Structure 1
Amino acid sequence: VLTVALLTLVAPVPAAHAATSATRLAGADRYATSATISAATFPRGVDVAYVASGLDYPDALAGAAVAGRQGAPVLLVSPTAVPATVRTELDRLRPGRIVVLGGPGAVGDAILQALKAHTTGQVSRISGDDRYATSARLSASAFGAGVPVAYVASGRDYPDALSGAAAAGSRGAPLLLVPGDRITAEVRAELERLRPGRVVVLGGVGAVSDAVKAELARYGSVSRTAGADRYATSAQVSASTFAAGVPVAYLASGRDFPDALAGAPVAGMSGAPVLLVTPDGVPAAVRTELTRLAPQRVVVLGGPGAVSDAVLAQATGSGEIAKIAATYTPPPASKGAGAAALAWAGTQLGVPYLYGGTGPEGGHTGYDCSGLIMRAYQHAGATVPRTTKQQWAATRRVALADLTPGDIVFWSSDGEPTGIYHDALYAGVDPVTGKHMRLQSPSPGKTVELVPMLETNLLPFGGRIG
């Protein structure tokens, strides 16, 4: 028998903080976006400008921590050309020197020569035999021994390091890359030289293994900052680094890297986080972190194709979920329809999933998610519409902390009702495991099941009938 308890896997969502302003920094492409970010941030005559490939991420990620510490821009180029927008921005900046990040395979020697026309000083290159060695050499070029903290992230993927680069830049700390399952010789040597007070591993064990974490303990106390996914990890990095009341928070796509490459050093020098979002929504963990941070300003990095205007609305508290949270009061208790619907749905365990299905009474051999819920409430004497979004619209809002068995819970791809793609019946708490449960018809190849709640993409409000 499942019991009723307050749902604690997701905290009740407070009214979202309304930032005083929201802006977007974007250009026609990744190169123009990097130039736009630079132009909006840096004055003419900066000491140094960093240049990196816009087609890959490792060199610019490690360089972003250095650039953030030095108050320098990172501008993106192609392997064989300096785009016109970047040339124009370099002419405006007239940096004292230019540093190219990565080897000739990333940024060709011809580009290094072309860059000499845009500075009064030297053009140099920092690179190693691979991305890991390059990160070590970047660290050695900018940080002395005895740094308070060093960050370590996987060099095989970019999401954790995107947020980590801003955190490292704000702390005046290096960002070192590892393959995930070992520490390369050059990175090991750099850690020996740095002797940091502590080491922060970014991302879960799938990104940087526990074996690597254990080996890092040779160089300082070690902790891991990670979330359930790249978005939650970015929120955790922010929460562990930045105090509430930051003047600005930066938002970037978690599905691609170019915009955040140029934005991370700007965020780092501003003492601000980079939080990752989907193209159409602010994930729950990021929404919660934005509420805690209460930034005066939100800056979106990249165009609407990378981060939509809907994300801007959600981040500044003008989305539908934020409006619900601002005026929320718990609804009256169900008159029994929810419990009855859940009890009937429990008799359908093991029935196959069928897209468009409403069960044998509808002439089908199975159910889809909303078909099961519609039929369950029909047996409870209540009328519920057919589709997930219709079921959202037809129910009274109930916060996750106020759920009772039989209430409907919803999952959304964009953090708003517009992105709802799945729903299930909340089934209370398993008294053995203490986990909150849901009864659902999940997906093709599966059957009606009773399983633990899934936090990813779960909306902070459900629906109540009767």
Structure 2
Amino acid sequence: MFGATVPANAATEVVDGWSAEQRIGGSTRYETASLVSQASFPKAGVDTVVLASGQSFADATTAAPLAVKLDASLLFTAPNALSKATADELQRLKPSGIVVIGGDGAVSQKVAEEAAAAANASKVVRLGGANRYETSLRTVEYGWGADGADTLYIATGNNYPDALALGAAAGQHQAPLLLIGDGKQHADSASKVAKKLGASSSFIAGGPAIVSNQISSALAASTHVVRYAGSNRYETSADIASGQFLPTRGAFMATGENYPDALAAAAAAGREGQPLLLSRKTCLPSSGHTALKDLLVEDVTLVGGKSVLSPSTTPCDLNALPPRVQAESCSGGNLQPSSGTVHIQDASSMINIGVETLGQALPTAKSQGPLPVCLSIGTGDATFKSFGTIQVQGTSTARWPKKNWTLKWYSDKQRTRPILVQVGSSVPTDSWIAKAEWIDPTQSRNPLAFGLWEEMIASRNSGSEVSHSTTANNPGALGFPQTNISRVTMDGKHYGISTLTLGHDPDNFNIDPYNTSNIYMEFDARGGYTLEKTWTKLGSDGIGTWIDNYLSSTDLFTDDQKSAIDELSSVINGSQENFEAQFDKHFDKGNMIDMLLMIELLYDWDGRAQDLQVVSYDLDKWFFLPWDKDTTFGMNSTGRLLDPAVETKLLMDYENEDTEEKPWFKTYQAFRPEVEARYAQLRDSGIFSVENLQQKSANLHATVPSDVWTAEANRWNSLGRPSSDVVSTEQILTWFEARLGMLDLHFGYADAPVEEQSTDEPQPDQPQSGEQPQSADNHDAQSRAEGAQSR
């Protein structure tokens, strides 16, 4: 039995011949690590505690075997806040020294000092570098630089799964684990470390697509190299367990779907000389069952609560997929992935997406989760086919007969190893969305809106928003969705024309998920307990309600990030004078003016305080970016579909500050001459012109053969598609021409006065979203047009 005592929350479970006599799981990653520490060190008084960030896997991965070598407890902390659980455990252990893994960005000096005070430790050592690889190298040098090591363990620093199980193996032998990247520089570094340590053996986690042959070849010059690589993370962890451990009574198990629990378990498992197996939430794959049987394991310690880890007695491989899917074969086509990426080069052609349902019914709601299918993608005769999943995207749009679909491709039947798909010059990503555009059968609004935005960016002297990142430079990063017209077929039959759209991928925004100075979030003031859209909702108290963090599925923000969000809110919701005084610190003028003009140009009533991507690369300056422009060019989705006469009405109130329009109102008031000059520039350049929009529309529709348009009408119009007889390319162009005429007057591009409009004209309610009507207290747009008369 691991440790001398069983924590109060331990549980006894019997699973497939082995018993889970102990479960250790707290309500947070910090509590779980503290509980593991209590089980490993039941008596107070240790020489050392190793402290690492709980919000980045990299530092803690290298720290686990170091903690075993130092006979130290491994605890986690947020970068800028020491949790109560960690502080209490430090106080209980009373270590004389603390080894902090990572630089100030990973564990701040303030936290290091608080940890030392809680422990009453007399010595604090920090092991940090400019990036995760330098930190890993410093950790190896600190632990093994003097004594050397017979064995060196190698794992990628790009992702966590393969490194988790390897940490326990390295800990068992009190050997170093080095994180490496790609390329010759990392190959040379790994070889140099191995030689300096005097290592005779190197063990690598992951296949050549994860850790390149260039790395293994460099290590082979001085060591005997062994590679552990399964078809997925679960098989790899089982391979490591079988290859690195002798028969043992005990083993550890943690979820393979996240890293904190497994990182805490790695140090404890290594100390006990027991393997760490990764499991799915509800079942352990058969590879894990086989490893437990071969190692004669009787007792398993589960690390993590039942909500994240509750393995059944039946292996995943037998019950994770429907019977008809178990024997599937999903390979084909003449495109082959290179380094895990499939490249669809001709982005100007219609993208063909094929779905083979394997006899299963398609899901009708997002809550039903992903359906395992075979997926193909390509253009013309160039196609790629593999295992895949399809899931309803969004909840509100799911009520339409034709659904939006989230599509993912995988290399293995269990759907655990994603294949990245690159379309044209896009960033390679593992998640694409086929947007049905049910209310816009022209499929035009999103592509046209983002096409205009892309040209606006190109016309700036200041460059794109994503170019401001100092930590990532992903070729193809746009900062807004790339869109391509596609045709989806289900089991060979026409399903629908869709807009293939790049999903939420941090790489598309040049965001580094491991840099806590980066934020990538969506502000949707429609959400939460009231449908009212207002910028007063912007604040850290709205996280998880109307603020979604797209770097974390749990909406986890650091205290510094929360403070930065609250400071942004105070500037937006404060006085005009303070907004102007703080503007250069917190905003980019080109970005703010262009967003204002874009929202007004498209009559984007959704985009004022909703469907906004908000990014920061330093927690000071913020960039606002467009998202989901299907209800633009006069369209809503409340049943009327087209709002009457909005092409000649201003969307925003430029005289009175509205809570839904605060940042745009303040920007206009602060920089009205610059706003008008920018509008004139966009008009003079032809970006804001009917001719430009007409050409874009023609290019879009030219990609779709006429018989496909016919198939689309035959498939869906008979089901009561509400917009089939009112929405057309001609409607968009006519609407746009009228709107430009009105905006020319408002922004001073034309001299004629705006005609006064009757105030007794009935005004439509403005809807809240693509599916829901807006609350009645929203003022209409009539007064906004009147406010333009003085201009």
With the shorter chain as reference, the TM-score category is 0.5 to 0.7
Instruction: Flag the structure with larger Rg.
Output: 2
Q: Does 1:287 align with 2:286?
A: no
RMSD: 3.1
* In 1: Cα distance, 2:301 partner to 2:54 partner: 21
Alignment of 1:177-192 (within 5 A): 177-184=179-186, 187-192=190-195
Cα deviation, 1:112-149, whole Å, max 9, x if unaligned, reads 11112113320121112211111111111111455221
Name the counterpart of 1:91: 91
Matches within 5 A, 1:327-406: 353=356
Can you list the C-alpha shifts for 1:260-285, whole angstroms capped at 9, x where unaligned?
A: 11111110010011100111110111
Which residue in 2 is equivalent to 1:256? 258
Q: Quote how far apart the aligned CAs of 1:21 are.
A: 4.5
Q: Paired residue for 2:213? A: 210
From 157, 160, 174, the equivalent of 1:158 is 160
Change over 3 Å in CA distance of 1:352–1:29 after alignment to 2? closer
Indicate how the Cα distance of structure 1 residues 108 and 120 shifts in structure 2: closer, same or farther if over 3 A, else same: closer
Alignment gaps of 5+ in structure 1 = 1-14, 325-341, 343-350, 359-367, 371-410, 415-442, 448-466
Q: Which amino acid aligns with 1:265?
A: A
Residue 320 of structure 1 and its aligned partner are, at CA, apart by 5.1
Q: Report the 3-state secondary structure (helix = DSSP H, G, I; strand = E; otherwise coil) of the residue aligned with 2:222.
A: coil
Selected match of 1:223 from 214, 221, 226: 226
- Which residue in 1 is equivalent to 2:267? 265
Give the counterpart letter for 2:223 in structure 1. G
Q: Distance in 1 between matches of 2:140 and 2:358?
A: 53
2:125 is aligned with 1:124: yes
1:108 aligns with 2:111: no
What's the secondary structure of 1:129's corresponding residue?
A: coil
Distance 1:193 1:64, change over 3 A: same
Q: Give 1:183 shift.
A: 4.5
Distance 1:88-1:194 versus aligned 2 partners, 3 A rule: same
C-alpha displacement at 1:87, in angstroms?
0.7
The 1:199/1:353 distance shift into structure 2, 3 A limit, reads closer
Partner of 2:244: 241
Aligned to 2:71: 71
Contact 1:132 1:178 survives alignment (8 Å): yes
Q: What SS class does the counterpart of residue 40 from structure 1 fall into? A: helix
CA distance in 2, matches of 1:75, 1:114: 14
Deviates more, 1:231-240 or 1:178-187: 178-187
Q: 1:413 to 1:155 in 2, by over 3 A?
A: closer
What is the distance in 1 between the residues matched to 2:489 and 2:263?
A: 38
Call closer, same or farther: CA 1:211–1:243 in 2, change over 3 Å. Answer: same
Structure 1 length as normaliser, TM-score?
0.64
What do residues 269-309 of structure 1 show as CA deviations (whole Å, max 9, x unaligned)? 1001110011111011111111112223111111122212x
- 1:354-377 residue CA offsets vs partner (Å, 9 max, x unmatched): 57679xxxxxxxxx999xxxxxxx
Kept after mapping to 2: 8 A contact 1:170/1:269: yes
Match of 1:12 in 2: none
Q: Secondary structure at the match of 2:44?
A: coil
8 Å Cα contact 1:183/1:212 also seen in 2: no
Whole-angstrom distance in 1 between the partners of 2:37 and 2:278 = 20
Deviation sequence 1:329-384 (CA, Å, 0-9, x none): xxxxxxxxxxxxx9xxxxxxxx99457679xxxxxxxxx999xxxxxxxxxxxxxx
1:162 deviates by 0.3
SS at 1:204 equivalent:
coil
Q: Distance in 2 between matches of 1:277 and 1:444?
A: 34
Distance of aligned partners of 1:294 and 1:80 in 2 relative to their CA distance in 1, 3 Å threshold: same
> Letter of the aligned partner of 2:28 in structure 1?
D
Distance 1:226 1:107, change over 3 A: same
Q: Is the contact between residue 166 and residue 268 of structure 1 (CA under 8 Å) also seen in structure 2?
A: yes
Structure 1 Cα separation of the partners of residues 414 and 133 of structure 2 = 37
Question: How big is each residue's C-alpha offset from its partner over 1:78-124, in whole Å with a ceiling of 9 and x where there is no partner?
Answer: 01111001111111111121111111010101011111211332012
Judge conservation of contact 2:44–2:93 (CA < 8 Å) in 1: yes
The one-letter code matched in structure 2 to 1:208 is: V
Alpha-carbon contact 2:283-2:314 (below 8 Å) kept: no
Q: 1:146 to 1:303 in 2, by over 3 A?
A: same
**Residue 47 of structure 1: CA displacement?**
1.4
Identify the residue that residue 25 of structure 1 maps to in structure 2: 24
- Which amino acid in structure 2 is aligned with residue 34 of structure 1? A
Alpha carbons of structure 1 residues 25 and 198: separation in structure 2 relative to 1, 3 Å: same
Deviation of 1:218 (Å): 2.5
Q: Distance in 1 between matches of 2:299 and 2:142?
A: 33
Counterpart for residue 197 of structure 2: 194
For 1:181 and 1:445, locate their aligned partners in 2 and report how far apart those are by CA, in whole Å.
Answer: 41
Distance 1:445 1:35 in 2: 50
Name the aligned partner's letter for residue 91 of structure 2: D
Shifted more, 82-91 versus 212-221: the winner is 212-221
Greater Cα shift, 206-215 or 140-149: 140-149
The Cα offsets for residues 33-77 of structure 1, whole Å up to 9 and x where unpaired, read as 111111111131111111111110111100101112232211111
Partner Cα distance (2:236, 2:158) in 1: 16
1:211 aligned partner, one-letter code: Q
Contact 1:19 1:294 in 2 (8 A): no
CA contact under 8 A between 1:145 and 1:193: conserved in structure 2? no
Alignment of 1:272-311 (within 5 A): 272-308=274-310, 311=311
Q: Which residue of 1 aligns with 2:34?
A: 35
Q: Distance in 2 between matches of 1:357 and 1:147?
A: 54
C-alpha separation in 2, matches of 1:180 and 1:155 = 9
What's the counterpart of residue 426 of structure 1?
Answer: none
More RCO (CA 8 Å, sep 6+)? 1
Aligned partners of 1:219 and 1:49: how far apart in 2? 34
Distance 1:84 1:175, change over 3 A: same
Instruction: Quote the offset at 1:242 in angstroms.
Output: 0.8
Residue identity matched to 2:201 = R
Aligned to 1:81: 81
What displacement does 1:180 show?
3.6
**Amino acid corresponding to residue 233 of structure 1 in structure 2:** T
- The 2-side partners of 1:413 and 1:206 are apart by 17
Letter of the 2:234 counterpart: Y
Contact 2:48–2:72 (CA<8 Å) still a contact in 1?
Answer: yes
Q: Structure 1 pair 256/190, CA: closer, same or farther in 2 (3 Å)?
A: same
Q: Which amino acid aligns with 1:26?
A: G
> Residues 3-18 of structure 1 correspond to what in structure 2 (within 5 A)?
18=17
> Hey, what's the Cα distance between the residues in 2 that align with 1:101 and 1:304?
30
How far residue 22 of structure 1 moved from its aligned partner, in angstroms, is: 2.2
Q: Structure 2 vs 1, CA of residues 16 and 22 (structure 1 numbering), >3 Å: closer, same or farther?
A: closer
Residue 169 of structure 1 is matched in structure 2 by: 171
Distance (Å, rounded) in 2 between the aligned partners of 1:215 and 1:54: 32
Distance 1:135 1:119 in 2: 27
Separation in 2 of the partners of 1:229 and 1:412? 8
Query: TM-score, with normalisation over the residues of structure 2?
Result: 0.38
Distance 1:263 1:119 in 2: 26
Provide, for residues 203-246 of structure 1, a one-character-per-residue CA deviation record: whole Å limited to 9, x for no partner.
111210111111111231212111111000000001111112x1
Q: What code does the residue aligned with 2:26 have?
A: G
> Which piece of structure 1 moves more, 293-302 or 182-191?
182-191
Distance 1:273 1:263 in 2: 10
Q: Provide the rounded CA distance (Å) in 1 between the counterparts of 2:314 and 2:132.
A: 43
1:153 is displaced (CA, Å) by 0.5
Please say if residues 150 and 197 of structure 2, whose CA atoms lie closer than 8 Å, have aligned partners that are also in contact.
Answer: no
d(CA) in 2 for partners of 1:199, 1:107 = 30
